[in-house]
Homo-oligomer: A and B are copies of this chain.
Amino acid sequence: MPGNTFGHSFRITTWGESHGRALGVVIDGVPAGLPLDTEIVQKELDRRRPGQSAVSTPRSETDKVEIISGIFEGKTTGTPISMMVWNKDADSSSYDNIKDLPRPGHADYPYMEKYGIRDHRGGGRSSARETIGRVAAGAVAKEILSIFGIDIIAHVTELGGIRAKEMPFDTIKEHLEKTPVRCADLEAAQLMLEKVGKAREEHESIGGVVEIIAIGLPPGIGEPVFDKLDADIAKAIMSIGAVKGVEIGIGNEAAQMKGSQMNDPFILEDGKIIAQTNNAGGILGGLSTGMPIICRASVKPTPSISKVQHTVNTKEMKNSDIIIKGRHDPTIPPRMVPVAEAMMALVLVDHMIRSGHIHPNSLLKQ
C-alpha cells in the first residue's frame, strides 16, 4: 500500500517531483458550500515559497496555484479539489554529477534501494517541493477551521541554539511575519538571523524548533485508541522532512516531572470546565480537552551543505566524496512554518469530520 495519501474523512493525495512538470494535490472530502478561490490558497503558498528573504534560497519560484476542479460559482461542491503548480525554474544540471552519489542526510540511498530507479533531479519526489501540495490543501483546511473558530499558528522557537521567550498567542500572530526567521520573540529573532548568516558563510546549516498551536478546538476530538489526536499529529508532523522529534504540550520535560506537577487540575470557569494549566497540550487519552493544542517539532539542519562529505558511488561501488552545489536554505524551520500549520490543519479538519463536528457533505447543512 503506497503512502501519498493523508487523512481519512478529509483526505489529500499529493503528487509531483521537484524538477518534474508540475506538483499538485487532490483533496477529497471538502464539504460543499465553502467559499474558495485561488487567492486563499496562493497566500499560503507565498508563505512557503523560497527566495523571500536572507534565510532562504534565492531561487525564484513563483509557484502560482491553479484550482482545477471542485468549485462552482465560487463555492466548493463536495467533489474533489484538484490544485497544481507548474514547475518553472528547474535547472537540473547541478544534479548530474551527483546522480550516483547519494547525499548524506538525504533520501537518495534508500529510494534507490526501494525502487531500483530514481529521479535524481532536485531530489525528485523526496524534495521539500512536495510540500506545495500539503500547503495548498492546508490552506483549504484552515479556511474550513476558521468557520468553526479554530485558529492555527506555527512559529520558530529555537534556531541555531538561540531560544525564543514564550509569547502569548496573539503576539505570536502579530510578530510572526515581521522577521524572516518567523520567530515571535523579535530580539531572539535578530540573534537567529545572525546565526543563519554565519552558517551560510561557513557553508553550513543549522537546526531549530517549530511550535504549532491550535486554539478553539472543542473537547472530545480524536479517536481512541490508535487514531488518537496526538498520535495523528505526531505522524503528520514527523512526515515533514527533517523533523526528528515531536512533542505534545510540556513534551519531553514530562519525563522529569512528578505526577502532581504534570497533571492539569480541572476547574469551572464561566460554567465551563477548563484545565488550570496545559502541560497536556490540550490532549488527554488522545482526545482534545478544549485547551490549546501545543506541538513542537525538532528540525535537523538542512542536509544539503556545500562542504566535502563522504559517500559511496553506487554505480562503481567505491568510496567517494561529494560536494553539493546549487542553492539551498541554510536552515529549514522558518520555511517549515506554513507546512507545519498545514499539517496541523489537515489533522484537525479530518478529526472534526470524524467526530461529527463538521458535516462531511455540506457546510450548508451545518
Q: Which of these binds chain B: A49-57, A166-174, A179-187, A267-275?
A: A267-275
**B310 contacts A266, CB within 8 Å?**
yes
7 contacts between A and B (CB under 8 A): A5-B28, A108-B285, A109-B266, A115-B362, A234-B235, A244-B248, A266-B312
What is the CA–CA distance of A236 and B237 in the complex, to the nearest angstrom? 14
Cβ of A201 under 8 Å from chain B: no
CB-defined interface of A13-46 with B at 8 Å, one 1/0 digit per residue?
1111100111110101100110000000000000
**Roughly how many angstroms separate A195 CA and B101 CA in the complex, as a whole number?**
50
* Complex-state Cα separation, A82 to B246, whole angstroms: 32
How far apart are the CA atoms of A68 and B19 in the complex, in Å?
A: 11
The residue that A365 contacts in the complex, of B69, B206, B356, B364, with Cβ under 8 A, is B356
Given the complex of chains A and B, what is the CA–CA distance between A119 and B319 in angstroms?
A: 53
Q: Could you tell me the distance between the alpha carbons of A307 and B265 in the complex, rounded to whole angstroms?
A: 12
Q: Cβ of A105 and Cβ of B259 under 8 Å apart?
A: yes
Interface assignment of A139: CB less than 8 Å from any CB of chain B: no
Shortest Cβ gap from A37 to chain B (Å): 14
Known: A28-B13, A104-B263, A105-B264. A6 touches B226 (CB 8 A): yes
- Docked-complex contact A33 and B117, CB < 8 angstroms: yes
Contact of A285 among B28, B241, B245, B273 (CB under 8 A): B241
Listed from nearest, the 8 A-B pairs whose CB atoms lie closest are: A107-B285, A3-B223, A3-B227, A114-B220, A110-B287, A265-B310, A205-B259, A113-B220
Q: Chain A 286-306 against B: per-residue CB contact (8 Å), 1 yes, 0 no?
A: 111110000000111111110
Q: Say whether, besides A2-B11, A28-B2, A205-B258, A222 and B77 are in contact (CB < 8 Å).
A: no
Give A220 to B110 CA distance when docked, in angstroms: 5
Let me know if A323 is at the binding interface, CB within 8 A: no
| Docked-complex contact B209 and A255, CB < 8 angstroms | yes
With a cutoff of 8 Å between Cβ atoms, the chain B residues found around residue A119 in the complex are: 72, 77, 79
Give the CA-CA distance A275 to B309 in the complex, in Å.
12
A326 at the interface (CB under 8 A from B): no
A111 at the interface (CB under 8 A from B): yes
Chain A interface category by residue count: 35 or more
Partner of A161, one of B256, B286, B288, B307: B256
Is A262 at the interface (CB under 8 A from chain B)? yes
Cβ distance A364 to chain B, nearest Cβ, rounded Å: 4
The docked-state distance in angstroms from the alpha carbon of A300 to that of B239 is 24
Distance in angstroms between the alpha carbons of A196 and B311 in the assembled complex: 46
Complex CA–CA separation, A237 to B246 (angstroms): 11
Q: Given A361-B115, A364-B117, A262–B301 Cβ distance below 8 Å?
A: yes
- What 19 new A-B contacts, CB under 8 Å, besides A21-B69, A72-B124, A244-B252? A1-B8, A13-B80, A16-B69, A22-B82, A33-B117, A77-B125, A107-B285, A108-B285, A110-B220, A113-B219, A113-B220, A158-B255, A231-B234, A234-B237, A244-B255, A252-B298, A268-B312, A279-B300, A354-B360
A83-118 vs B: 1/0 string, CB under 8 Å? 010000000000000000010111111110111111
Select A247's contact among B68, B244, B286, beta carbons within 8 Å: B244
Q: Is the CB of B262 within 8 A of A207?
A: yes
* A143 interface hit (Cβ, 8 Å): no
- Interface mask (A311-338 → B, CB under 8 Å = 1, otherwise 0): 1101001110000000000000000000
Q: A2: which of B29, B271, B288, B362 is its contact (CB, 8 Å)?
A: B29
Chain B residues within an 8 Å CB radius of A304: 259
